[in-house]
Structure 1
Amino acid sequence: MAKLGAPQAEILLDNLDLVSFDTQDQLFISNTFGDIYLFNQGGKQLNLFSPSRQGRLSQLEAAWTVNIFSFSADLQEYRILDRFLNPLAEDGSTLSEVNLAKAATLGNNNVLWVWDESDLSLKSIDYRRNLVIQSQPLNLILNTDHLEVTEIREFKNRLFMNVPDTGIFIFDNQGNLMRKINLKNIPRLCYYREHLFWCDQGKLMAISLSTNEISTLAQLESSESVYIQIGQERLAIVSKDKVRIYPTPTWLKALR
């Protein structure tokens, strides 16, 4: 079984929570208070953003070419920052026509996807105008009155919804349900080369989105690894209060 080898860098951070690579393989990390740290590829801290209202982040995304996106379900607000962690709006923005946002993600064309738990609807919002474009009542589509959604992410014009006790739902860019993947208890979504990745008892696992084949790819250094994030030429294995950074191995790049 493959291994990742020795990490290029290790980052130790108290109360570490969410991790996201940008397009330059810099690493943005939030803690459970909502502070956002910026680290370079070698694990050196470059910057820190600490919001005036502190609250745990539910989402942190840096893979967009221009902006950093964060969302806090606790505070019911989202924030867009530039790559130097300067907020583009001084305070977090609240969401109009949304009563209880439990998950949110940035999409293409100035769209914000929001899971509104109050009416079990998936909503797309033009965040520049703060206007709901469309709303999909998922309780009718999925025939359920209870969905514990922990995360939504857009990858290549598809929206992935993580419901740990049920699976992962995939929607098209209009919010129409395409399919469901029976993967339960996945902490954070990680997409790379038409595969989803996760850590399971010290092993790196993957499922092909084209064939549904599940593979065990590598033995990880720690059995306490919680989740993985993959950038351009780097990957990060996240465990409690520690991030290990590795070069993306050739066998991972070769996945089809």
Structure 2
Amino acid sequence: MKKPLILVTNDDSIVAPGIRALIEVMKEIGEVVVVAPDSPQSAMGHAITINDTITLSKVNLDKEIDKEYSCSGTPVDCVKIAVHEILKKKPDLCVSGINHGSNSSINVIYSGTMSAAVEAGIEGIPAIGFSLLDYSWDADFEPFKKYVKNIAQKVLKKGLPDGVILNVNFPKLKEKDIKGIKICRQAKATWVEEFDKRTNPMGKEYYWLSGEFVNQDKGEDTDEWALHNGYISVVPVQFDLTAHHAISQLNNWNL
């Protein structure tokens, strides 16, 4: 049987250990094409490049992959150029990650990893974003490879509802301590942000953004609850941002 065509991307750059781990798993499942940023693009959200050029460089980081490209653009650019210029067709699956750090709760809005997956979903491609709650470069992805493979194979076999993308987050745990997988909703949480104001040696002021993540959601059906209780969280997300529940209320305004 013909192997499925799988597009792999991320936001941490093409050399990040997370994407190299993801590539290893996807090679067991199908034919892999890699298009990923040439430098870190974390927190780029759904940004695209419109006021600059985009360059592609063919690389050979994995001798078993014929099509592997480093892209100067954003994660979303990577998906767009992969589909329209490199593949010339839609792949059977797009996987993004494995991200170094959490993309649970409100973080999904800022995430370059998830935005790449969402862009694939917009293109009509089944897509999954994978993230590990460990920001270190030498994070251990080994315990999660079997879960990545299982989830990807299930999506290939069963498909996803129209407009739905999976946001998968792994807790930072040893394999023996992982309790399983929970299908969740996104927790209601926010960042309480601060700007650290400083002055450079030339006397010019500049700022570093910092903040504290605050989870206001006490529900036990959320991604935050699952991750803090030893489970892998899987949240189905969508790119339709319509607040359907508010339409009837607005209709009563007689605008």
Q: TM-score range by the shorter chain?
A: under 0.3
Greater strand share, structure number = 1
| TM-score, scaled relative to structure 1 | 0.23
| TM-score, scaled relative to structure 2 | 0.23
Higher RCO (CA < 8 A, seq sep 6+) = 2
Greater helix share, structure number = 2
